[in-house]
Structure 1
């Protein structure tokens, strides 16, 4: 607020020239010192400091704009004049205000995904199950046996090196999708269509993930590939019926082969067991016969040795042992007759009993 000093002086002169005598501040010796006038004179060049206050507040706000917080799933990348300066971990931090320094905070734990060969139709904030739009220029691929197959798959990845991820490549999602499509085409080109449609999917996914990681590392993309998942693999619609017939024939062939192998696996062990049993029985019989023959031969040699030592005694002993064995057999019917009776009686054989015995057997 400025004071108009000249207008104030004119007003005082008009008041003093009106015949009312000298006004205040005028003494007998001339004008005296006017304390009020001196105070107003000091306030003549004074300005209220509102502009400086506003500038100070703006400066404080500018300094405070450098405060930032890094969340637990993030990492802070600080740039100074557009060039990488440092990396900060989770928590509160400070950087020099813009335009000196600025900060990026990528989420390093978030699992990102790209879709190749199809697009999910988004409804609101979620993807509707089963609502897919096929992208033929991405999904149609050529196999190693020169067949066309429609491959739709998903790539899941996360940030491995945030500095490389932010500054080495642009449009990171598009880069991952393009590299994934190239890797899948190469892997499919080294496999036959049967592997892609049936038993080889797991190996194809693993090989594609490894090759994609090599490509992205070569680009310096700062990305780690978590998984490659094949969503739908089928022949083109024009020939899908023929492929279904072929697949059914292969399933029938596999079923018949499995049944034949099951029958073979059931029959061969039994045959091997029976053969081993027969061989073991023959071996046991051979060992028994050989051992018995050896025993009889040794017994005969022992008897012969004793016989040579005492022939009469040995003969009598052998005779008695033979008679003891015969007479001691309960199955043999014996007729005991005196020596005198043998000369007077016709020898008798019980033929009727023998016949009855044989008939009973």
Structure 2
């Protein structure tokens, strides 16, 4: 009899294979069995119809799964980070630092540090403009400026920046002389490298900002290092000598200018003195001329006596008596007057008053000078 003929036949090969009920599972029976199992875990009794306490267990499982999913979506972005949100793999927005919610299996958040300053070294042997080989070491400091471009513009922005740095450095070194690179042109090389690097990375939109470029070291190859050290030392000596010469010039020049000004002032004063003295002599002769015209002989005699007075006042004088009885007697007037305290010790005899003969030690002036009549008076009436 066939297994599917009418009657109480229970020979379904899918339900009773091998002597047991091993047919393909029914979905209703499968859910019923799962409900009974979970119901047993939570203290309920199994239900043959899949209702009652078994349905409550499934609901509890779903609630627990939802709670786990909800809690797993919370995350925290640090102060230095910015979150790049991808919804089903597509960029949507940026998240600010703080406590945020991200629906699990829907959105993905990639934190990017946008404040930390990172460093890329660059070094190597390079050819200069004057066809010399120099070993240069440089360090580039950068930070992330745009997280979106940093993640999606190029596959590896750090490697791209490293290659751009090497290219910019070789371009600048190739247009510079070796002496400038090793000595006074280091700052120019550093600034030029930064400008060249920023111009190279701008079209690629790497999302990076150059903070600084540090020129660490530049030296010639070891084979010629001693010669270049001597050249650098000579250049430093040149700079030192120039500075010393400038300092010496700064010290001597003001002193020389002061001396020049003093000499000019002295010459001007001497000139003015001579002019005034000449004018005084002219005025004196202008006053003497009328007297000379009035009495030429008397004026001539007076001028002679005044001249002799001026000459004899600065010389030693001896009085000699030649009218004696064969003996010559002389009197050193200067010594006698010095012993009496009339003349100073210098030996210069001041002019005396010819009228009184008192030997008064007063310098003759225009006011106390004897008149012409008194000057020729020998004391006799």
TM-score range, shorter chain: 0.5 to 0.7
Structure 1 residues 30-41: aligned runs within 5 Å: none
Residues 206 and 351 of structure 1: is their aligned pair in 2 closer, same or farther, counting only changes over 3 Å? farther
Query: Could you say which residue in structure 1 is the equivalent of 2:67?
Result: 60
Match of 1:110 among 107, 116, 122: 116
After TM superposition, give the deviation of residue 223 of structure 1 in Å: 1.3
Whether contact under 8 Å (1:235, 1:243) holds in the other structure is yes
Number of residues paired by the alignment?
276
- Per mean C-alpha deviation after superposition, the further-off stretch among 289-298 and 217-226 is 289-298
Query: Could you say which residue in structure 2 is the equivalent of 1:44?
Result: 48
After TM superposition, give the deviation of residue 87 of structure 1 in Å: 2.0
Three-state SS of the structure 1 residue aligned to 2:213 is: strand
Match of 2:104 among 89, 97, 102: 97
Q: Give 1 or 2 for the bigger CA radius of gyration.
A: 2
1:77 is aligned to 2:84: yes
1:157 is aligned to 2:142: yes
Structure 1 residues 1-361: aligned runs within 5 Å: 43-46=47-50, 48-49=54-55, 50-98=57-105, 100-117=106-123, 139-293=124-278
RMSD across aligned positions (CA) = 4.4
Whether contact under 8 Å (1:217, 1:223) holds in the other structure is no
**Given the two structures, how large is their TM-score scaled by the length of structure 1?**
0.61
CA distance in 2, matches of 1:297, 1:162: 101
CA distance in 2, matches of 1:171, 1:351: 125
CA distance in 2, matches of 1:288, 1:165: 89
Q: For residues 24-72 of structure 1, what are the alpha-carbon distances to aligned partners after superposition, in whole Å with 9 as ceiling and x for unaligned? A: xxxxxxxxxxxxxxxxxx9431262445543443333233333221111
CA distance in 2, matches of 1:283, 1:296: 20
CA distance in 2, matches of 1:89, 1:156: 24
**Given the two structures, how large is their TM-score scaled by the length of structure 2?**
0.58
After TM superposition, give the deviation of residue 182 of structure 1 in Å: 1.4
After TM superposition, give the deviation of residue 221 of structure 1 in Å: 1.5
Higher helix share: 1
Q: Which runs of 5 or more structure 2 residues have no equivalent in the other structure?
A: 1-45, 316-329, 339-343, 349-381
Q: For residues 264-314 of structure 1, what are the alpha-carbon distances to aligned partners after superposition, in whole Å with 9 as ceiling and x for unaligned? A: 55444444433333223222322333355456667877x69xx79xx98xx
CA distance in 1, matches of 2:235, 2:314: 76
Whether contact under 8 Å (1:216, 1:222) holds in the other structure is no
Q: Which runs of 5 or more structure 1 residues have no equivalent in the other structure?
A: 1-41, 118-138, 334-349
Three-state SS of the structure 1 residue aligned to 2:48 is: coil
Query: Could you say which residue in structure 2 is the equivalent of 1:6?
Result: none
Whether contact under 8 Å (2:334, 2:347) holds in the other structure is no
Three-state SS of the structure 2 residue aligned to 1:245 is: helix
CA distance in 2, matches of 1:219, 1:298: 99
CA distance in 2, matches of 1:161, 1:298: 99
Three-state SS of the structure 2 residue aligned to 1:284 is: helix
